[in-house]
Structure 1
């Protein structure tokens, strides 16, 4: 026979009230039912816990020793139940997210602040990595959801949201490409380019666009991070191609962004989870807020 919350709670109530009648009133149960609970508890632990006569109820020596132990156990389990309910209701828990650095440096901080106002106990585990690593982290379940870029055909993932991120040319204000409202692909093919490294989602889009049109880009540098690419553009090494939503696009007052007049320069953005996995309720709330925020950001860009 196992200990039950009700039996332990009944014993503690009787011990504190020193009366079955008063304890039954506090617990809103009948006195016979309370008596059954106490007897059941005593049978479970194998020792008498209460001495009862016509006038009062007192703890036995075993009852005195077990009372603080059972009180602490009850409090601990009540805390466990409270925490479990909070997790189930989405009022606490950890959002485990892998995402592209573009998103981490732009929308994500504000999104976290917004959710923390609604769910103060929410915690966040964030990995800002390139698209291939996002997919790997979701697959290995180190994170629950991932915001990744590029085409996604892997059946191991379930798509929660899909959108696009338009790419722009970032160049110095005095650069010839800055004079027009849009940049043509053949113009890009004639200038040195600072492109993010192979394996990044932006690079995959750029390479595919040039290959489809039969152009061979002149690649001056291949940094991993967008901020490095911007620094190289500022240093006169070439122009770069970045998502329009990237904070790095506006990080330098001496640089400007120009849209590219070719529909191929669009990066797919996909929010994914591992297929068949249940997400924590707090993560579901985060996803709903993320979709809304991404949609608003895309409409402004």
Structure 2
């Protein structure tokens, strides 16, 4: 007996210009569940003609009928029965993936990772975070302190959202926006002769004193090496360290002197160490907001940046050795 083809079979096209979408799958599952175009359309908040068109498109794509239409019911064909668990699994996986993204994005909005050099970590960040925590009790901040090379590396590798540190050279992966600059000076114990001296200090005055230098991966090391006619004791320091923790421990013990940027001692509670500006020549450290090019920062990250800039501006307005940068 010759079988009269169904309407969907006569409209199956071997070549179609569209692909299966989530809308197709949701329409298929709703119709399979409700077995009625009217009830399925209501559940999908769609019109019945729209649902009919979507199902027709899906059948065109797969090349066969997925439903048998009768006057009373809409039933799955054998092909539709085979496709049902596949569609269910795809929708479950898709919805789960969306939920995971929402949860991750929601958590990230309140979680900020920052890489930061020692002076900014100790002199600026505590003041900024104090106000933020009271306003945003759900805020989580991860601070990764280190030298400027550490900051750039962490930002480049996406270990943090952004960082505060110095610029070594142009980097195609990183964006540098000026934050501030501060003058280099002498840092030593308060009983050191150079600290007690009443005259203005020059770099040449450091000659003959044991010097504690910082390694080349810090911001201070390269700055000093660019100064001409430095005393030999500074060019070839007796001690060389890579962290400010070790540096300050040596100085507090009376083991040598060093040079440091002005912010490093700003508002410090340390009563043992003192800072004095050095001139002839005047040398500056430049600190930047460092971010990875192409990365979108969260509103909370941007808010922390804004408050850090405001705090820097407040400090610079009272300190002639610190100048706020232009964003």
TM-score over 0.5 (shorter chain): yes
For structure 2, the residue ranges without an aligned partner over 5 or more in a row are 1-17, 320-327
Is residue 299 from structure 1 mapped to residue 314 from structure 2 by the alignment? Answer: yes
**How much has 1:90 moved relative to structure 2?**
11
> CA 1:293–1:299 in structure 2 vs 1: closer, same or farther (change >3 Å)?
same
Match of 2:4? none
The 2-side partners of 1:272 and 1:6 are apart by 42
Aligned residues: 290
Is the Cα–Cα contact under 8 Å of residues 111 and 290 in structure 1 kept in the other structure? no
> CA 1:102–1:51 in structure 2 vs 1: closer, same or farther (change >3 Å)?
farther
Match of 1:239? 257
The 1-side partners of 2:33 and 2:139 are apart by 34
Structure 1 segment 264-279 matched on structure 2, within 5 A: 264-272=282-290, 277-279=293-295
**How much has 1:37 moved relative to structure 2?**
1.2
Match of 1:290? 305
Q: Secondary structure at the match of 1:192?
A: coil
Give me the TM-score of the superposition, normalised by structure 2.
0.67
What per-residue deviation string (whole Å, max 9, x for no partner) do you get for residues 273-292 of structure 1? Answer: 57xx422243x762563253
Q: Secondary structure at the match of 2:295?
A: coil
Is the Cα–Cα contact under 8 Å of residues 88 and 280 in structure 1 kept in the other structure? no
Q: CA RMSD in A?
A: 4.4
> CA 1:267–1:62 in structure 2 vs 1: closer, same or farther (change >3 Å)?
same
For structure 1, the residue ranges without an aligned partner over 5 or more in a row are none
Of 175-184 and 2-11, deviating more is 175-184
> CA 1:64–1:155 in structure 2 vs 1: closer, same or farther (change >3 Å)?
closer
Match of 1:175? 192
**How much has 1:134 moved relative to structure 2?**
5.2
The 2-side partners of 1:230 and 1:4 are apart by 63
Of 174-183 and 215-224, deviating more is 174-183
Structure 1 segment 119-268 matched on structure 2, within 5 A: 130-132=147-149, 141-143=156-158, 147-149=164-166, 152=169, 154=170, 156=172, 158-179=175-196, 184-185=201-202, 186-209=204-227, 211=228, 215-218=231-234, 219-246=237-264, 250=268, 253=270, 255-262=272-279, 264-268=282-286
Larger radius of gyration: 2
Give me the TM-score of the superposition, normalised by structure 1.
0.72
